């Protein structure tokens, strides 16, 4: 087989089949996918979660991950946030002619590894090849199906809820930014992109009333919390409680960035009733990727504001990010 | 709102929200989507069909359709071919900065129209914006979920099966090709891209043993029939029986193209036992998009060959297309 992707690989013909058989099937091997039909047949449930995300991250490979890991984790996390158990993933690749087959294999291996970790299977896929210069290497879309074993999370924060973050804020965004801009730090920042379904399940097991769950990706904490606040709910977050690497906060200061707006790919946010909050934190800390879990804020009766409270007790309003802090972050 | 897409529209922030609220929600309005959560919650079934396809067609608008219509119909048809009833569609858009909002609205209107026609709902979506020059306008991924009301189609052609085409071959491929190459014909060729779920359902209602169903897109009839033949099954197609517009066959001759390899987006192929074939054809002809349905060939005991039989009785072997006949056809 050729070393790079050619337009023929996107033809649906012989070269396409060769690509599927030599790259995708070995990487993702499972019974559903191996049938090579246009639609996978999967077992279902009464209620489904369905989500999609396209990944156009630049660079494709970065410390702590790559576009492959990101594309599986992001979709797993969106399903998990709904309260569903992620089960099936579809993969749609748009690849530029000239893209190295070796890079494609690395990306597939990384997707397979993330899928295994998340206990999901890649059941169906599609590949299109476009002319060089028309896709910046590779874009990956993943859609996902999750099955509900209990009721969907209502995504409605209530006054009295505590806001919990499952891990350190900002690691993914700062890693991408420094990789892209060639800003060197020692040691380099690493993305924490990870499948968080076990964290979501752990919280739901210990707390029958998870009011909202969300992975704060594009737009960061600011975006998620602003979407959670509503006409009669304020959300207060405590600056000193936000788990973060010292190096990440220093980088934010250095670059003039607000950590509240940095994208995350390895963090889940929860809103749970006060009485359950400590138990949820303890349950999260026992899970992989949950060791830094802590309460970062609370929801109170108010008028729809989100604000950060400094150690001195001063408050500053957190607004929905307006523009693009960093394009192509995921 | 701006007239063209900007990087801010891909930020996940305020501009992104504005785009969703002013373009997507009005076009696709339904209860699932309006919740604007990352995952849609849908009702399910014991068995599901799941498929994905990315659409990178060029040009984006062509006689008879556009990338929007194509992206819904293609996924509806893949689900239909499995024997499932298509229900839910996800939409992942990758849009280039500078893309006109008006074009995006036209595309969305076209998707909404196709979805309505196919009785599917667009329940979840995602939009990424990349720098100008990185996506040739817009790429659309759709994934789809179908629910099985009866058993999945086995996709196993048997000796004695008749091969039925639901409509005229080549219309989509020739329309795209002439639009792209500015080859002018009077009247212009029109793509027949259409949702074919009602045809699939009609065939399954009349025939309890549809052995295989397939929409012959990339690679055309040649690809689908070669995949259907197997070690002990030959497939014979009769040149004179293939439904086709005279203008399309003339264009093929003129351009030196084999109609067997031209992509279709408005045609479904069926393999059904001989005794049901005529009834299936009659049932298809009663449905919209099925008026040209006819038997085009048959499966016989053999050694895995596909061949076309001319009116004089001579045979020529049909092979799996090797390379790319026409990139970016869907």
**What pTM does this model have?**
0.93
CATH of the domain at B248: 3.90.650.10
Task: Determine whether the interchain pair B53/A126 forms a contact, defined as Cβ–Cβ distance below 8 Å.
Answer: yes
Mean pLDDT of A48-62: 94
Cα(B42)–Cα(B33) distance, integer angstroms: 10
Q: Is residue B273 located within the same domain as residue B203?
A: yes
3-state secondary structure of B259: helix
Mean pLDDT within B243-256: 92
- Token pair recorded at residue B123: 């329940």
Contact A139 B94 (CB under 8 A): yes
CATH number for position B123: 3.30.1330.10
Residues B40 and B171 in one domain: no
Which chain B positions have a beta carbon within 8 Å of A60's beta carbon?
none
- A to B CB pairs, distance under 8 Å: 272
Regarding whether A82 and A204 lie in a shared domain, the answer is: no
Tens of pLDDT, residues A108-140: 999 999 999 999 999 998 989 898 889 989 999
Q: Which residue has the higher pLDDT, A42 or A96?
A: A96
A136 and A28 co-located in one domain: yes
Terminus-to-terminus CA distance in chain A, angstroms? 30
- Say if residue B39's pLDDT is above 90: no
Within 10 A of B186 (CB to CB), how many other CB atoms are there?
Answer: 5
Helix/strand/coil for B82: coil
Residue B107 has pLDDT above 80, yes or no: yes
The first and second tokens of residue A38, run together, are 């246009």
Mutate to test the interface with A, among B54, B127, B145 (most CBs of A within 10 A): B54
Residues in B touching A95 (Cβ below 8 Å): none
For chain A, the three-class secondary structure string (H helix, E strand, C coil) is: CCCECCHHHHCCCHHHHHHHHHHHHHHHCCHHHHCCCCCEEEECCCEEEEEEEEECCCCCEECCEEHHHHHHHHHHHHHHHCCCEEEEEEEEEEEECCCEHHHHHHHHHHHHHHHHHHCCEEEEEEEEEECCCCCCCEEEEEEEEEECCCCCCCCCCCCCEEEEECCCCCHHHHHHHHHHCCCCCCCCCCCCCCCCHHHHHHHHHHCCCCCEEECCCCCHHHHHHHHHCECCEEEEEEHHHCCCCHHHHHHHHHHCCCHHHCCCCCCCEEEEEHHHHHHHHHHHHCCCCCCCCEEEEEEEECCCCEEEECCCCCEEECCCCCCCCCCCCC
pLDDT tens-digit readout, B270-308: 999 999 999 999 999 999 999 999 999 999 999 999 999
- Tell me: do B136 and B190 sit in the same domain: no
Alpha-carbon gap: B159 to the closest alpha carbon of chain A (Å): 20
**Out of B84, B126, B320, whose CB is closest to A39?**
B84
A290 domain residue, yes or no: yes
**Chain B partners of A15 at a C-beta cutoff of 8 Å?**
322-324
> What is the arrangement of strands in the sheet containing B40-43, beginning at the earlier edge strand?
A121-130, A85-96, A138-147, A47-55, B40-43
Distance from CA of B156 to the nearest CA of A (A): 11
Nearest to A109 by CA among A26, A1, A3, A4: A26
Task: State how far the Cα of B304 lies from the Cα of B128, in Å rounded to an integer.
Answer: 44
The ipTM value here is 0.92
Note the Cα A146 to chain centre separation in Å. Answer: 15
CB B161 within 8 A of CB B298: yes
Q: Is residue B36 part of a domain?
A: yes
Query: Which of B34, B48, B81, B265 to probe by mutation at the A interface, max A CB count within 10 Å?
Result: B48
Considering the domain boundaries, does residue A89 fall inside one? Answer: yes
Of A114, A147, A180, the domain-final residue? A147
User: Which residue in the set A39, A215, A324 is minimally distant from B79, CB to CB?
Assistant: A39
Average pLDDT, chain B: 91
Selected residue of B1, B5, B7, B13 to mutate for chain A interface (largest A Cβ count, 10 A): B13
Whether residues B327 and A7 touch (CB distance < 8 A) is answered with: yes
A86: pLDDT strictly greater than 90: yes
Which of these three, A94, A123, A147, is where a domain ends? A147
Residue A146 has pLDDT above 90, yes or no: yes
Residue A43 pLDDT exceeds 90: no
Q: Do β-strands B40-43 and A47-55 pair in parallel, antiparallel, or remain unpaired?
A: antiparallel
**B51 contacts A38? CB cut-off 8 A:** yes
Same domain, B219 and B118: no
B12-37: pLDDT as tens digits: 667 777 888 888 888 877 776 777 77
Same domain, B304 and B197: yes
> Which pLDDT score, from 0 to 100, does residue A27 have?
80
Å from A314 to nearest chain B CA? 25
Residue in B14, B141, B328 nearest the CB of A320: B14
Reported as a single tens digit per residue, the pLDDT across A180-231 is: 888 888 888 999 999 999 999 999 999 999 999 999 998 899 999 999 998 8
Share of chain A above pLDDT 90, in %: 70
pLDDT band at A323 (very low <50, low <70, confident <90, very high): low
| CB distance B39 to A49 below 8 Å | yes
pLDDT for position B143: 97
CA–CA min distance B250, chain A (Å): 24
Nearest CA distance, B115 vs chain A (angstrom): 17
Span A234-269, pLDDT tens digits:
999 999 999 999 999 999 998 888 999 999 999 999
Q: Do B10 and A324 touch (CB under 8 A)?
A: yes
Using a pLDDT cut of 90, give the percent of chain B over it. Answer: 70
Instruction: Specify the pLDDT at position B11.
Output: 66
Same-domain check for residues A98 and A228: no
Q: Taking CB atoms and an 8 Å cutoff, what residues of chain B touch A16?
A: 218-219
Residue B69 in domain: yes
Identify whether B113 is part of a domain.
Answer: yes
Structure tokens of A246? Answer: 């010292």
What percentage of residues in chain B have a pLDDT greater than 70?
A: 97
Domain termination site, one of B123, B147, B171:
B147
Minimum mean pLDDT among B73-77, B94-98, B202-206: which range? B94-98
- Is the pLDDT score of B186 beyond 90? no
Calculate what percentage of chain A has a pLDDT beyond 70. Answer: 98
Do A143 and B141 lie within an 8 Å CB cutoff? yes
Residue B63 pLDDT greater than 80, yes or no: yes
Q: Residue A74 and residue A312: Cα distance in Å, rounded?
A: 36
| Mutation site, B46, B52, B58, B137, interface A, largest A CB count within 10 A | B52
Q: How far is CA B322 from CA A9, A16, B4, B59, B215, in A?
A: 9, 9, 40, 24, 19
Q: Which of B11, B51, B94 sits opposite A324 (nearest CB)?
A: B11
Query: Is the torsion defined by CA of A13, A16, A22, A27 positive or negative?
Result: negative
Comparing A251-255, A302-306, B258-262, the range with the smallest average pLDDT is: A251-255
Do B94 and A219 make contact, defined as CB atoms within 8 angstroms?
no
Q: Which domain holds residue A241?
A: 161-317
A72 has pLDDT over 90:
yes
Q: How many domains does chain A have?
A: 2
User: Could you tell me if A76 and A202 lie in one domain?
Assistant: no
Pairing of strands A85-96, A138-147: antiparallel
Q: Are residues A108 and A254 in the same domain?
A: no
Q: Is residue B330 part of a domain?
A: no
* Amino acid B323: pLDDT: 66
pLDDT of residue B50: 94
Q: With 70 as the cut, is the pLDDT of residue B88 above it?
A: yes
Asked if residue B308 belongs to a domain, the reply is yes
CB B123 within 8 A of CB B41: no
Q: What is the DSSP letter of B219?
A: T
Q: Are residues A51 and A178 located together in one domain of the fold?
A: no
Q: Under an 8 A CB cutoff, do B39 and A79 touch?
A: yes
């Amino acid at each position: 087989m050729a070393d790079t992707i050619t337009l023929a690989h996107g033809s649906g013909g012989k070269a396409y089949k060769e690509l599927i058989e030599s790259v995708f099937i070995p990487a993702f091997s499972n019974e559903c996918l191996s049938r090579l039909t246009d639609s996978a047949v999967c077992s279902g449930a009464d209620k489904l979660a369905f989500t999609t995300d396209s990944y156009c991250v630049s660079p494709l490979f970065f410390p702590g991950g790559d576009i492959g890991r990101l594309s599986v984790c992001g979709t797993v996390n969106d399903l998990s946030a709904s309260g569903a158990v992620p089960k099936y993933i579809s993969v749609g690749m748009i690849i530029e002619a000239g893209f190295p087959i070796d890079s494609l294999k690395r990306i597939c291996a990384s997707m397979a590894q993330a899928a295994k970790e998340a206990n999901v299977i890649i059941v169906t896929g599609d590949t299109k090849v476009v002319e060089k210069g028309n896709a910046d290497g590779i874009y990956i879309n993943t859609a996902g199906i999750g099955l509900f074993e209990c009721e969907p999370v209502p995504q409605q924060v209530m006054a009295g809820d505590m806001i919990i973050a499952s891990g350190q804020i900002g690691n993914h965004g700062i890693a991408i930014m420094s990789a892209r801009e060639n800003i060197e730090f020692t040691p380099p920042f690493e993305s924490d992109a990870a499948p968080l379904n076990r964290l979501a399940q752990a919280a739901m097991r210990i707390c029958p009333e998870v009011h909202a769950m969300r992975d704060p990706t594009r737009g960061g904490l600011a975006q998620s919390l602003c979407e959670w606040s509503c006409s009669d709910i304020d959300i207060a977050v405590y600056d000193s409680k936000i788990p973060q690497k010292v190096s990440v906060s220093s980088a934010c200061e250095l670059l003039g960035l607000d950590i509240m707006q940095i994208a995350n790919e390895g963090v889940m946010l929860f809103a749970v009733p006060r009485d359950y909050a400590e138990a949820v934190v303890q349950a999260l800390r026992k899970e992989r990727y949950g060791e830094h879990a802590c309460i970062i804020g609370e929801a109170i009766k108010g008028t729809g504001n989100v604000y950060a409270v400094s150690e001195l007790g001063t408050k500053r309003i957190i607004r929905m990010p307006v523009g693009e802090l960093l394009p192509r972050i995921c």
